[in-house]
């Protein structure tokens, strides 16, 4: 089976490509560096020729509201049009748990718009919404910095390892489309302030972490369940403790 991975050189895409190749599939890792640009449409027709499945794990280079919306709308529109012409049977996309709940986030609004385009298309699809990646925990923590203090809310967060996301996408890619949305979270929920403290302690960084429920997550005031998956979500296998043990020493 030929599977095209849009964003195939990124954090999730590179892992996904390796898994699919190991399973014996013909895999094309498509990205601007390989001459395939979904935003402009460059190289799409050739890349999708003979493909059965397209997995879109691409991400916008800017989080500015207008720019990120244009990225997802143009790339998704071009992909769906090219897939229709190529006879692609399954469009898989990676999205974010709780995107519709983060109403002040331009990025999340753009992801919801992307999902709407996919649902309105005649191409059979599966949307996988994942929680925040464990690989991003330090960046999330640093986003709460006010001077030397890290001010973090108590809202729930259930981070998932990139390897678990890639594993689920690899399974979805070879299954029948669900024409709906699936959710994936990490094995364990945390209060965000506790998670940040655990992370800094685990990697040996002395940071002053203060609990502050007025502190905003990329401009958004979180509710307790804003970032948490539904009760029927699938769960990854890699615990945060195990992930830190495996990755902190190499600076992932």
Query: What's the length of the chain?
Result: 252
Q: What is the average pLDDT value for the chain, to the nearest integer?
A: 95
CATH superfamily membership of 2-250: NAD(P)-binding Rossmann-like Domain (3.40.50.720)
Is residue 98 packed enough to be buried (19+ CB in 10 Å), middle (13-18) or exposed (0-12)?
A: buried
- Per-residue pLDDT of 126-151, as tens digits, reads 999 999 999 999 999 999 999 999 99
Let me know the angle formed at the C-alpha of 93 by 160 and 43, rounded to the nearest 5 degrees. 130
Pick left, alpha or beta for residue 92 (phi over 0 → left; psi -120 to 50 → alpha; otherwise beta): beta
Residues whose CB is less than 8 angstroms from the CB of residue 235 and which lie 6 or more positions away in sequence, other chains included:
184, 185, 186, 187
d(CA 128, CA 113) in angstroms, rounded, equals: 15
Tell me the three state secondary structure of residue 94: strand
Helix (H, G, I), strand (E, B) or coil at 152: strand
Q: Look at residue 249 and tell me whether its pLDDT is greater than 80.
A: no
* Rounded distance between C-alpha atoms, residue 132 and residue 159, angstroms: 5
- Could you read off the pLDDT of 43-75 as tens digits, one per residue? 999 999 999 999 999 999 888 899 999 999 999
7: left (phi over 0), alpha (psi -120 to 50) or beta: left
**Separation CA 194–CA 152 (nearest Å):** 9
Residue 250 is predicted with a pLDDT of 44
Distance set, CA 168 to CA 3, 100, 107, 128, 188 (Å) = 15, 22, 23, 9, 17
């Amino acid at each position: 089976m030929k599977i095209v991975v849009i964003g195939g050189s990124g954090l999730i895409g590179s892992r996904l490509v390796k898994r699919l190749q190991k399973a014996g599939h013909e895999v094309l890792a498509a990205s601007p560096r390989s001459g395939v640009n979904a935003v402009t449409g460059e190289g799409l027709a050739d890349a999708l020729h003979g493909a059965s499945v397209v997995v879109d794990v691409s991400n916008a280079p800017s989080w500015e509201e207008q720019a990120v919306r244009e990225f997802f709308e143009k790339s998704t529109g071009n992909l769906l049009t090219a897939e229709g012409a190529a006879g692609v049977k399954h469009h898989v996309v990676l999205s974010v748990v709780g995107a519709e709940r983060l109403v002040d986030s331009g990025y999340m609004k753009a992801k919801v718009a992307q999902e709407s385009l996919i649902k309105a298309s005649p191409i059979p699809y599966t949307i996988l919404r994942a929680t925040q990646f464990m690989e991003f925990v330090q960046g999330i923590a640093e986003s709460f910095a006010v001077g030397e203090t890290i001010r973090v809310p108590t809202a729930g967060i259930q981070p998932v390892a990139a390897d678990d996301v890639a594993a689920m996408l690899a399974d979805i890619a070879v299954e029948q489309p669900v024409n709906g949305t699936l959710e994936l979270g990490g094995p364990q929920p945390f209060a965000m302030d506790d998670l940040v403290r655990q992370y800094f302690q685990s990697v040996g960084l002395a940071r002053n972490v203060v609990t502050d429920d007025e502190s905003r997550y990329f401009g958004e005031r979180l509710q307790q369940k804003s970032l948490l998956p539904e009760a029927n979500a699938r769960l990854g296998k890699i615990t945060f403790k195990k992930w830190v043990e495996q990755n902190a020493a190499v600076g992932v």
